[in-house]
């Protein structure tokens, strides 16, 4: 089983690269951002709660996010593993994920792939995406900068935890989509050998 944590600031291309990794390794993607957006679109109680944080570019509280993730991991699937996109974002979520994958899947996190893109490029990419995505959190530069700031403030400790386990790999997220995918595949292939 391959369980990948895909790491990277908003706008680093996580979603696109997750798609390529899914196809290549037959994985199920769990994107906490997508799950929150689905709930907001359907105006569920979870969506209403998440919206109050997401609209400000803040993180949704850990317990709410973890409960949603557990529910998703427990759903039956015939894939060869999972790709966690946008989760974990805090040390608490990292510990929870470790426990969830061990208990529910009986397998550890294999690798944490981190896409690296500098801040100004991220802001420009997100503003551009905001022109068509319809996402309120993509349309305002101040909110975008806050999301990037939140990402680094909270996720530095997540990177540290995976570094300590020797599972953290940085990949340059600037270049053609295919080039970046190839670099990610090479890292996954290394751990499968
Ligand atoms: P994303 O699509 O991953 O950029 O997520 C969009 C927004 O959803 C984030 O700015 C957060 O407000 C919220 N969110 C997504 N994943 C998480 C998470 N793991 N923990 C807390 N909040 C999250």
Decide: 81 and 42 in contact? Cβ < 8 Å.
no
Q: How far apart are CA 83 and CA 111, in angstroms?
A: 10
Dihedral angle computed from the Cα positions of residues 121, 123, 125 and 127, in that order, rounded to the nearest 10 degrees: -150
Q: Determine the pLDDT at residue 193.
A: 64
Q: Determine the pLDDT at residue 152.
A: 87
Task: Give the Å distances, CA to CA, from 162 to 109, 110, 113.
Answer: 9, 10, 10
- pTM exceeds 0.85 for this model: yes
The pLDDT of 32-58, averaged and rounded, is 95
Superfamily of domain 2-185: P-loop containing nucleotide triphosphate hydrolases (3.40.50.300)
Nearest to 11 by CA among 176, 105, 112, 138: 138
On the question of pLDDT at 43 being above 80, the answer is yes
State if residue 33 touches ligand 1 by the CB under 6 angstroms criterion.
yes
SS3 127: helix
Question: How many Å lie between the centroid of ligand 1 and the Cα of residue 34?
Answer: 8
Q: Determine the pLDDT at residue 57.
A: 85
The domains of the chain are located at 2-185
Q: Whose CA is nearest to atom 10 of ligand 1?
A: 57
Question: How many Å lie between the centroid of ligand 1 and the Cα of residue 60?
Answer: 7
């Amino acid at each position: 089983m391959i369980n990948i944590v895909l790491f990277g600031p908003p706008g680093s291309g996580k979603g696109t690269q997750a798609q390529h990794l899914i196809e290549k390794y037959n994985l199920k993607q769990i994107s906490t951002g997508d799950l929150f957006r689905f709930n907001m679109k359907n105006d569920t109680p979870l969506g209403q709660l998440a919206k109050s944080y997401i609209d400000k570019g803040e993180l949704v509280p850990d317990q709410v996010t973890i409960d949603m993730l557990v529910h998703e991991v427990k759903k039956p699937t015939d894939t060869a593993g999972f790709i966690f996109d946008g989760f974990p974002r805090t040390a608490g979520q990292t510990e929870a994920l470790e426990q969830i994958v061990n208990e529910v899947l009986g397998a550890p996190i294999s690798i944490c792939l981190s896409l690296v893109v500098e801040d100004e490029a991220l802001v420009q990419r997100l503003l551009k995406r905001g022109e068509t995505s319809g996402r309120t959190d993509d349309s305002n530069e101040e909110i975008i900068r806050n999301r990037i700031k939140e990402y680094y403030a909270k996720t530095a400790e997540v990177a540290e935890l995976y570094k300590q386990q020797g599972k953290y790999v940085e990949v340059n997220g600037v270049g053609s989509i295919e080039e970046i995918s190839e670099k990610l595949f090479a890292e996954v292939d290394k751990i499968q050998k």
